[in-house]
Structure 1
Amino acid sequence: MTEQRTMTNAAWAQLILLALIWGGSFFSIAIALREVSVLQSVLHRVGWAALALWVIALAQGHSVPRSLKIWIGFMGMGLLNNIIPFTLMAWGQTEIETGLVSILNASTALFGVVIAAALLRDEQLTRAKAVGTALGFAGVVTVIGWSALKSFDIRSAAQLAVIGGTVSYAFAGVWARYMLQGLSPVVAAAGMLLASTLIMLPVVLVYEGLPSLKLNFNTWAAIGYYALIATAGAYLLYYRILAVAGSSNLMLVTLLIPPVAIALGATFLGETLPPSALPGFALIALGLLVIDGRLGRALFKRSPSR
């Protein structure tokens, strides 16, 4: 019998922090896309993040891995976790509304649970995970607004692109478990992003030429946020959570990102939360508690014996 991975209090805290960081990424990407292309936005994201993480890795005394298997792992992870989803979702964000992108992005958790259960022996699809993930996804849809789903069109290439990005994210968690297990988080993240940069640079040069660095301050600020904070810093957390909680639990961060983004907008931009926000948050919280399992165990222990 395989051991099921559970979420510790520390893992939950890291997951919430990751959601807070990634919650602002949609806004910063939208700002950058006003001046740079989709491909260049992805190159900026992985390139500057890779540089920052390798500075950190070398300063901490880590060396560059020499194993061919590890570099194959970096290349696969770069494609699955960076290039494919970053490109598809950035392009999708230029074609469809942010609310729908957020809803579709949250389906990463659903794909993550199913794919991890199919490919990883220690991440079986339990009833609690299935029910909890469904509740969490319903909560995200409720927060954003059920009316947003009315614009969903299966024939829309942009919406299919976002869904493709979520599936890629889900496979990335499993790939990392197989190929990069045992690496320190900083080396794993730095290697993945360097591999992504090595793939993206020739693509941009061939299709768009040498990217211009003469950008507006707002564009550089947006790039700085999503490259250094929402990518370099976030992936350090990503690999730490992956190591202790597993890939399907890690994918739950996509359920937290949309409500976090709405809450930040209400707090710092004076935006009004929709009436559906509170019941949506309640559904998300319930779903996470069901997946975590501790609420059920606590209720079971307190129930009188028969």
Structure 2
Amino acid sequence: MPETAQSGAQRRSLAVWIIFTVLTILWAGAYGLTRIAVGTGTAEGLPPEWVLPGRLTGGAIFLLTLMFVLGKRLPPLSDRRRWAVIVAMGFIGSLIPFFLITVAQETVDSSLAALYTAAAPVFVTLGASLLFSEERMTRNTGIGILLGFAGVVALFGPEAIRHFGSASMTAQLLLLLATLAFSASTLIARASPPMEVIPMAAGFITVSAVLSWPMVFTVDPAAVSAGWHHWLAVAGLGIGPSGVAQVLYMALVARAGATFQSLTGYSVPVAGAAFGWLFFRETQSWNAALALALILGGVWLARQGGRGRIV
């Protein structure tokens, strides 16, 4: 059913904009919290093999508690199709990208890491045009995807490309792979059978947490030098971006629709860059600004070409 102007206005109420703003802050703030947790640029900090399980376990506890308080239940184990989606989302949508981002942020700034999230809608649009017949590619979609890819190339920057194999180049490749994983999880969710959102989120975050636990034993505790603020950042990652943000995401989609929620693809990288400068005095070179403009322009064109549909 097409959305009327009246319903659109209702959905974009003050409450919707508050949810949108808080969600943007939580998702963008995750990069700064990760920087603190791993101690980017310092001799102290927690290894990614501890940050990831801590973050995911905190998020799982929060979401499972919320699910039971609301009287929701996970699908029965006999429902193999839904559990296949939950496991795939846990592995591809959480475990892989969060680990890659955490490892990358041992080397790169939080603001640069946040910029890569802007490219996710470009990859999703390309994947959707190949996988779903109703998302066939148009001229604007194709131009938008090409612009987005040009933005990703610009984001790497001439310095990283010139020094192929450097720590910065490797870290940015990890960020790109994380973006691809996020995009793949969006396509998996798009093709999944109907499922209540809170049990689904609680299920795949719990699966990813359990899968991450063996990582803890790969690090010698005697080799770790970390303070209370590193652990506090991990707790914040679990409760905020991995827990509360999931609930706000569901609330925003329910109140305003997926198209409006997708605007976080524009706001998160900008907020991430702002937080990076405000809290850590991070600055990016000219190519980062050019890359963001190309990627966001490409996303806008792709959305127009897809008649505004967001997968």
- Give TM-score, length-normalised by structure 1: 0.73
Separation of aligned partners in 1, 2:133 and 2:149: 24
1:279 deviates by 9.2
Q: Is the contact between residue 106 and residue 137 of structure 1 (CA under 8 Å) also seen in structure 2?
A: no
**Residue 94 of structure 1: SS of its match in structure 2?**
coil
Distance in 1 (CA, whole Å) between partners of 2:270 and 2:187 is 26
Q: How many residues align?
A: 280
Report 1:106-255 matches (<5 A): 106-131=118-143, 149-153=157-161, 155=165, 156-179=169-192, 181-205=193-217, 207-208=218-219, 216-239=227-250, 244-245=257-258, 253-255=264-266
Partner SS for 1:182: coil
Cα deviation code 1:93-126 (max 9, x no counterpart): 2133445433434322221111122123343334
Aligned pairs (5 A) from 1:33-52: 33-34=38-39, 35-52=45-62
After TM superposition, list the pairs within 5 Å mapping 1:2-41 onto structure 2: 10=11, 13=17, 17-34=22-39, 35-41=45-51
Q: Rate the CA distance shift 1:251–1:89 in 2: closer, same or farther, 3 A.
A: farther
Deviations 1:101-160 (A, max 9, x none): 33434322221111122123343334444555666788899xxxx687123335443222
Q: Name the % identity.
A: 22
Distance 1:147 1:192, change over 3 A: closer
Q: Partner amino acid for 1:149? A: G
In the alignment, residue 39 of structure 1 is paired with which amino acid? E
Does 1:260 pair with 2:271?
Answer: yes
CA contact (8 A) 1:103 1:140 kept: no
Residues 118, 295 of structure 2: 8 Å contact kept: no
Deviations 1:199-229 (A, max 9, x none): 1113333x237899x9633223312322111
RMSD: 4.1
Structure 2 unaligned runs (5+)?
A: 3-7, 40-44
Tell me, in whole angstroms, the C-alpha distance in 2 between the residues paired with 1:124 and 1:16.
32
Q: Supply the distance in 1 between the matched residues of 2:146 and 2:251 (Cα, whole angstroms).
A: 25
Cα distance change on mapping 1:210 and 1:241 into 2, 3 Å: farther
Between 1:40-49 and 1:66-75, the stretch displaced more is: 66-75
Tell me how far apart the structure 2 counterparts of residues 211 and 53 of structure 1 sit (CA, whole Å): 32
Alignment partner of 2:71 out of 44, 57, 61: 61
**1:15–1:241: 8 Å Cα contact kept in structure 2?**
yes
**TM-score, normalised relative to structure 2:** 0.72
| Structure 1 residues 17 and 126: CA distance shift in structure 2, 3 A | farther
Partner Cα distance (1:117, 1:149) in 2: 29
